[in-house]
Amino acid sequence: MKSKNRIMFFSAIIIICVFGLALTWFLQLILSSASSAEEQSVPTDGPEQAQSAQGPDLSDVSVSHSSGFYDTAIKLEMYPPEGYDIYYTVTMSSARSLTDGRTAPTGESYFFVGGKDPDPANLDTEDRASYDYKLFNTSEGRALTYKYKTPLDFVNQSNFTSLVVTVKAAIFKNNVRLSPVRHFTYILGSINGDKSYKDIYGSMLISITIDDELLYDYETGIFISGKKYDEAMENGVAIDPWTPRNYNQRGTEWERLAHVDFFDENGKLVLSQICGVRVAGGTSRGATIKSLKLVAGTGYDGNDRFNYPFFEGARNVNGDPITSYKKLVLRNPRNDIGGTMVRDQLLHKLGGVVGVDYQEGRDAVVYLNGKYYSIMCLHEALDAEYYEDHYFVNKNNVASFLIRSDQYLFRYKQESGTDEQFKSFKADMNYLIYNDFSGEKGMEKISEVIDVDNFCRYMAYQIFIVNLDWPHNNVLIWKYFGPESSSVKAMDGRWRFILKDLDFGLNDPETDTFFRTLNDGLSFDDPCIGPVLRNLLKNKTFRSIFRQCCIDVADTLSEDFLIEKIDAAVDGLSLDMQLYSMYNGMGLESWRNYFDQWRSFAKLRRNYFLDQLDHYAPEG
């Protein structure tokens, strides 16, 4: 009897388990069918946010217009998921002088206002009839956050130039941001829609969006004198271009978060990413239009490089194109004599033609927080990554040193490397200045220290272009200190030179640049490369190599060739100079006439240069 009851008990348990499994399977089938039906009812190719059993996709903000050039006005629509809001900010301005009235304690105006992330704490609660151009073109409008309600009419009121509009938007619920902040940049042609991108711009357009507090905050703003200056005044520091100021600070501590969009010569967006921004340059940091260094980094949006082939001529030692960059520089024309805007870039490219290591660059029109900033030169940054990209050497094994002015004193400053490597550099240069290399073993000893062809071409070119801000300044020298390899060009443990800052070139063609160079000097007895050349010319083999480099430079940079390149540079920038002159008052005719001096240089320089060569480095 007990055995029978036991069997009935276990049978009941089995029946219950089977019934439970069947019920579970049946319920899953019903839920699966309902989910399938719901998925089929949601459009997959419209602007609406995709829905799921877990809710809407909050990874992106959907809008009606992608970033780019539009020949006329646009009506921008945004598509918030049901039950959610889109908050946004807008930066744009056709006026160069617009500020919001604020000034830093040190006196600088908040010139490039805007660049704000959507912020519920700064929400505009007014029930405006429309969010139009006039609202966003005020300093108040550029600082506020808006809740999307109706489409935004962006209209360019000008028939002369474009209007650049940047929208920052994100998805919110109960004033909590649930999506990344997205950036959309629109370049609007003319009010009549009759101008293409190429009717307005001749160059790449770069739009930078950055919170104005990062530029103008008293303690941390990178565009103003700020707290650093006031502290220096309290301590009795002399006032000059190098007096401590916020914008004179360097390094990662003074790098600020921004977003940058790059549009090619056709107005097509080719790259858009978050990056770091620093002020770059030397004494030009004091200008309103400052040079800027753009830094890609995984700490921002996962992109540790700017992956785009910005420069057609940028190639590594194997001749392959360089298609990504860790850092880029937007260089202002502060030190360009005559304000030509093209001198430094033209001379760098000509240096590349004659075989000198140089920085590639291109013209760019830059907008900052929707406001016109300037014509600038976008070029490679001469940082540690430059050596990796060009020479395949480990940047951690590179030492580089640069002459930089400091309170009107000129001496080498360490860019990378160790103190011991700095001492080694100075010792090597003094070795070349103060020893006798005229004997038959002299050339072998010289070649152990420097790349002779690199040095000779570099010196010949700088002397030819009559660069008056050199060699007592703007000398960049580097060396690889890692494991040496004779089969890799730059891994042979010798010093090499790269062109830098050529804003003082193309001066009077009659100038005796040989004398200036051979007899130049530096502060604090730092070894100048002019006397290095003077001593090495005593070696007949070295002198023969140097002479041939000089002749090659003079032959390559013939009158016809130079005038062709000068004219091409002027023509390439003429369209963008119209816009620059509108904002800065420069006369286009006087700008064009300035280049007659360069054409005169092209006609006269070769003969003067070769006569000076025969005097200072005679044949034989």
Residue 331 phi, psi (nearest 5): -100, 130
pLDDT at 486 over 90: no
Give the confidence band of 377 by pLDDT, cuts at 50, 70, 90.
very high
- CB-CB neighbours of 528 under 10 Å: 23
Q: Residue 54: what pLDDT?
A: 65
Higher pLDDT, 336 or 202: 202
Using N-to-C axis directions, what is the helix angle for 540-556 and 442-449, rounded to 10°? Answer: 60
Quote the tokens at residue 263. Answer: 């549009």
Q: Rounded to whole angstroms, how far apart are CA atoms 309 and 381?
A: 14
Give the confidence band of 38 by pLDDT, cuts at 50, 70, 90.
very low
Give the confidence band of 96 by pLDDT, cuts at 50, 70, 90.
low
What's the mean pLDDT in 110-115? 91
Give the confidence band of 99 by pLDDT, cuts at 50, 70, 90.
low
Measured at the CA of 527, the angle between CA 522 and CA 530, to 5 degrees, comes to 80
What's the mean pLDDT in 89-93? 91
Q: State the amino acid at position 480 in one-letter form.
A: Y
Rg (CA), the chain: 31
DSSP 191: T
Query: Quick check: 352 and 267 in contact, CB under 8 A?
Result: no
Q: Rounded to whole angstroms, how far apart are CA atoms 151 and 86?
A: 12
Question: Which H helix or E strand runs over 271?
Answer: strand 269-280
Q: Rounded to whole angstroms, how far apart are CA atoms 617 and 620?
A: 9
What's the mean pLDDT in 36-41? 33
Q: Rounded to whole angstroms, how far apart are CA atoms 543 and 540?
A: 5
Phi-psi region of 255 (alpha: psi -120 to 50; beta: other; left: phi over 0): beta
pLDDT at 22 over 60: no
Q: Residue 436: what pLDDT?
A: 97
- Report how far apart, in Å, the C-alpha atoms of 306 and of each of 11, 53, 183, 302 are: 70, 38, 17, 11
Higher pLDDT, 49 or 404: 404
Do strands 327-331 and 291-295 pair parallel, antiparallel, or not at all (unpaired)? antiparallel
Q: Residue 610: what pLDDT?
A: 98
Query: Quick check: 401 and 412 in contact, CB under 8 A?
Result: yes
Q: Residue 60: what pLDDT?
A: 92
pLDDT at 474 over 70: yes
Q: Residue 97: what pLDDT?
A: 58
Give the confidence band of 100 by pLDDT, cuts at 50, 70, 90.
low
- CA 331 vs. chain centroid, Å, equals 8
Q: Residue 18: what pLDDT?
A: 40
- CB-CB neighbours of 465 under 10 Å: 28
Q: Rounded to whole angstroms, how far apart are CA atoms 372 and 584?
A: 11
Q: Residue 614: what pLDDT?
A: 98
Chain segment 493-505, per-residue pLDDT in tens: 999 999 999 999 9
SS (H, E, C) 239-265: CCCCCCCHHHCCCHHHCEEEEEEEECC
Q: Residue 314: what pLDDT?
A: 96
What's the mean pLDDT in 343-354? 97
What's the mean pLDDT in 519-534? 95
Who's near 587: CB < 8 A, 6+ residues apart? 581
3-state DSSP call for residue 274?
strand
Best CA proximity match to 86, nearest among 46, 131, 134: 131
- Report how far apart, in Å, the C-alpha atoms of 85 and of each of 118, 170, 557 are: 12, 8, 62
- Report how far apart, in Å, the C-alpha atoms of 164 and of each of 73, 78, 155, 188 are: 11, 19, 10, 6
Chain segment 425-464, per-residue pLDDT in tens: 999 999 999 999 999 899 999 999 999 999 999 999 999 9
pLDDT at 405 over 50: yes
Do strands 182-188 and 163-173 pair parallel, antiparallel, or not at all (unpaired)? antiparallel
Give the confidence band of 108 by pLDDT, cuts at 50, 70, 90.
confident
Q: Residue 299: what pLDDT?
A: 82
pLDDT at 2 over 60: no
Higher pLDDT, 254 or 92: 254
What's the mean pLDDT in 170-186? 97
Q: Rounded to whole angstroms, how far apart are CA atoms 80 and 67?
A: 18
pLDDT at 19 over 50: no
pLDDT mean across residues, the chain:
89
Do strands 176-177 and 146-147 pair parallel, antiparallel, or not at all (unpaired)? unpaired
pLDDT at 10 over 60: no
Q: Residue 3: what pLDDT?
A: 43
Instruction: Give the range among 129-133, 138-142, 254-258, 548-552 with minimum mean pLDDT.
Output: 129-133
- For 590-614, give the DSSP string: HHHHHTHHHHHHHHHHHHHHHHHHH
What's the mean pLDDT in 524-550? 97
Q: Is the previous residue joined to 241 through a cis bond, with omega within 30 degrees of 0? A: no
Chain segment 255-307, per-residue pLDDT in tens: 999 999 999 999 999 999 999 999 999 888 999 899 999 999 878 888 899 99
- The residue whose two tokens read 């480095």 is 617
DSSP 222: T
3-state DSSP call for residue 330?
strand
Instruction: Give the range among 11-20, 31-40, 116-125, 387-396 with minimum mean pLDDT.
Output: 31-40
Q: Residue 269: what pLDDT?
A: 98
Q: Rounded to whole angstroms, how far apart are CA atoms 563 and 442?
A: 40
Higher pLDDT, 54 or 512: 512
Query: Quick check: 367 and 414 in contact, CB under 8 A?
Result: no
